[in-house]
Structure 1
Amino acid sequence: MSLVPFPSESRVRWRRLDVPGREDARVEQTAGGWRLTGQLDVEEDGVPARLRYRIDCDDAWRTRAARIEGEMDGRPVRFELAADGAGQWTRDGHPLPELAGAMDVDLGFTPATNTLPIRRLALAVGASAPVRSAWLRFPELRLEALEQIYTREAERAYRYRAHIEGDGEPFTARLDTDAFGRVLRYEGLWEAELATPGDPAP
Structure 2
Amino acid sequence: MTSFAPPPGTAAWRHLGVRTGFEVVRFHATPGGHRVEGCTTAVEEGEAWIVDYVIDLGPGWVTRSARLTSRSARSERHIVLESDGAGHWRLDGAPAPWLDGCLDVDLESSALTNAFPVHRLHLGVGAAAPAPAAFVRAADLAVERLEQHYARLPDDDGRQRYDYAAPVFDVACRLTYDESGLVLDYPGLAVRAA
**Same fold? TM cut 0.5:** yes
- Structure 2: how far apart are the matches of 1:12 and 1:174? 20
- Structure 1: how far apart are the matches of 2:28 and 2:59? 12
Task: Say whether residues 1:162 and 2:162 are aligned partners.
Answer: no
Give CA-to-partner distance per residue, 1:15-52, whole Å, 9 cap, x none.
11213201111222111311111112101121111111
- Structure 2: how far apart are the matches of 1:38 and 1:146? 21
* Correspondence for 1:200: none
Structure 1 unpaired stretches of 5+: 195-202
Inter-CA distance 144–70: structure 2 relative to 1 (3 Å threshold): closer
* Correspondence for 2:44: 44
State the one-letter code of the partner of 1:162: A
1:177–1:183: 8 Å Cα contact kept in structure 2?
yes
* Correspondence for 2:93: 93
Instruction: Output aligned runs, 1:112-127, within 5 Å.
Output: 112-127=112-127
* Correspondence for 1:179: 179
Task: Say whether residues 1:3 and 2:3 are aligned partners.
Answer: yes
State the one-letter code of the partner of 2:162: Y
Task: Say whether residues 1:61 and 2:61 are aligned partners.
Answer: yes
- Structure 1: how far apart are the matches of 2:107 and 2:190? 14
* Correspondence for 2:150: 150
- Structure 2: how far apart are the matches of 1:38 and 1:134? 18
* Correspondence for 2:14: 15
Moved segments of 4+, more than 6 Å: none
- Structure 2: how far apart are the matches of 1:70 and 1:130? 28
- Structure 2: how far apart are the matches of 1:138 and 1:92? 17
- Structure 1: how far apart are the matches of 2:34 and 2:139? 26
Residue 77 of structure 2: SS of its match in structure 1?
A: strand
2:51–2:138: 8 Å Cα contact kept in structure 1?
no
CA drift of 1:74 comes to 4.1
CA drift of 1:57 comes to 1.0
Inter-CA distance 154–37: structure 2 relative to 1 (3 Å threshold): farther
TM-score under structure 1 length normalisation: 0.88
Residue 193 of structure 2: SS of its match in structure 1?
A: strand
Residue 61 of structure 2: SS of its match in structure 1?
A: coil
